[in-house]
């Protein structure tokens, strides 16, 4: 099975991730349907797709002729299962609920050819669990995109316990063709790779705020001005080998017993949720968002990513 077998795809979900995933697949040469439940959601999804396309074009990460071609390759539909039945690939990006996903893929299998490949964009649910109702679980893998998906290079391709490695490799190769940086993850662990690493940082960050070790601002300042600057070109395993595993072992022996090892969600999260402090959506979380502009924070984030992508493109 090669990536060239993928000609038509359906991306189910018109929210935060779906339009960016559709743009990615279109860059790989596929005809893509963005599927949603209502005409209104489809229009929102396509508007998001066009905005993503404009961002790439305005920042010279895309040529005008390619942008015009991509726009022709992507369209919307509310006929989710009818379009899926005609497609080689279905990418699911719906509610992060295992039962909802299980039901969706069960319905999908009832209308699709046994050769149609399914992928889920779950952020942390094991694809093995999602596939429990499928007659052909070998056809499904996780394709975890990072937000914003039209900019972030990484796609984690995760094999479930019964996923075909041939399917996994075909999807991995497809996303290389789409211009992404995919990794093939062979063990289906909760949180995959990236989110396991990220949530380890989240847990320790929130724990230090909870325990009064430092403020939220201090945590973000430390990360942004230390290892956050190195990580684009220098990973933690690079660091360990370069400074010496004997030194790392000595520091681990001293520090590890003092790190947060609570095996559940921290009390600070339960307290904030109970108080309605959900972050930007309610105006307060770790920060007071009445004093900060969320769109400005996102703009600064995306501009930084775009600069890095430009540097990569120039160095190729």
Delimit the domains of the chain by residue range. Answer: 3-185, 196-315
| 3-state class percentages of the chain: helix first, strand second, coil last, to nearest 5 | 55, 15, 35
Tokens 């295992």 label which residue? 98
Considering only CA atoms, which of 51, 45, 26, 59 is closest in space to residue 94? 45
CATH number listed for the domain at residues 3-185: 3.40.50.720
Per-residue model confidence (pLDDT) at position 313: 87
Q: Which two tokens stand for residue 25?
A: 């697949």
d(CA 276, CA 278): 6
Per-residue model confidence (pLDDT) at position 208: 98
Low-confidence ranges of the chain (pLDDT < 50): none
CATH number listed for the domain at residues 196-315: 1.10.1040.10
Per-residue model confidence (pLDDT) at position 252: 97
Per-residue model confidence (pLDDT) at position 5: 86
Per-residue model confidence (pLDDT) at position 40: 97
Residues belonging to the chain: 316
Alpha helices in 144-262 (DSSP H): 165-177, 194-210, 216-224, 227-230, 236-243, 245-255
Per-residue model confidence (pLDDT) at position 4: 77
d(CA 239, CA 258): 22
* Beta carbons within 8 Å of 90's beta carbon, 6+ residues apart: 9, 10, 12, 84, 108, 112, 116, 117, 118, 119
If one counts every other C-beta atom within 10 angstroms of the C-beta of residue 271, the result is: 11
Task: Give the H or E element holding residue 273.
Answer: helix 267-274
Considering only CA atoms, which of 87, 95, 78, 82 is closest in space to residue 34? 78
d(CA 33, CA 18): 10
Per-residue model confidence (pLDDT) at position 3: 60
| Ranges assigned E (strand) in 58-180 | 74-77, 89-92, 117-120, 140-145, 154-159
How many Cα atoms occupy the beta-carbon half-sphere of 316 within 13 Å?
7
pTM over 0.85, yes/no: yes
Could you give the 3-state DSSP secondary structure of residue 158?
A: strand
Per-residue model confidence (pLDDT) at position 315: 86
Return the CA Rg of the chain: 21
Considering only CA atoms, which of 48, 44, 52, 46 is closest in space to residue 27? 52
Per-residue model confidence (pLDDT) at position 1: 65
Classify 283 in phi/psi space as left (phi over 0), alpha (psi -120 to 50) or beta: left
């Amino acid at each position: 099975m090669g990536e060239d077998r993928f000609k038509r795809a359906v991306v189910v979900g018109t929210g935060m991730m779906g339009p960016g995933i559709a743009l990615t697949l279109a860059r790989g040469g596929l005809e893509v349907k963005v599927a949603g439940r209502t005409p209104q959601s489809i229009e929102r999804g396509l508007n998001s797709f066009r905005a993503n396309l404009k961002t790439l074009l305005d920042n010279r990460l895309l040529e005008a002729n390619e942008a015009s071609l991509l726009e022709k390759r992507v369209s919307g539909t509310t006929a989710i299962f009818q379009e899926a039945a005609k497609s080689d690939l279905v990418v699911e990006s719906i509610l992060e609920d295992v039962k909802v996903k299980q039901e969706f893929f069960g319905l999908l299998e009832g209308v699709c050819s046994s050769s149609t490949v399914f992928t889920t964009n779950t952020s942390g649910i094991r694809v093995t669990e999602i596939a429990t109702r499928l007659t052909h679980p070998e056809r499904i893998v996780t394709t975890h995109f990072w937000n914003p998906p039209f900019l972030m290079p990484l796609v984690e391709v995760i094999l479930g316990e019964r996923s075909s490695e041939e399917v996994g490799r075909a999807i991995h190769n497809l996303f290389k063709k789409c211009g992404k940086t995919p990794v093939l993850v062979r063990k289906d662990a909760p949180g995959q790779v990236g989110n396991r690493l990220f949530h380890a940082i989240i847990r320790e960050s929130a724990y230090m705020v909870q325990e009064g070790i430092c403020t939220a601002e201090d945590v973000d300042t430390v990360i942004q001005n230390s290892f956050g600057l190195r990580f684009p070109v220098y990973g933690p395993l690079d660091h360990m080998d370069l400074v010496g595993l004997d030194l790392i072992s000595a520091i681990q022996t001293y520090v590890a017993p003092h790190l947060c090892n609570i095996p559940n969600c921290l009390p600070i999260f339960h307290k904030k949720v109970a108080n309605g402090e959900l972050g930007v959506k309610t105006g307060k979380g770790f920060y007071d968002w009445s004093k900060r502009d969320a769109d400005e924070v996102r703009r600064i984030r995306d501009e930084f990513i775009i600069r890095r992508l430009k540097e990569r493109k120039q160095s190729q």
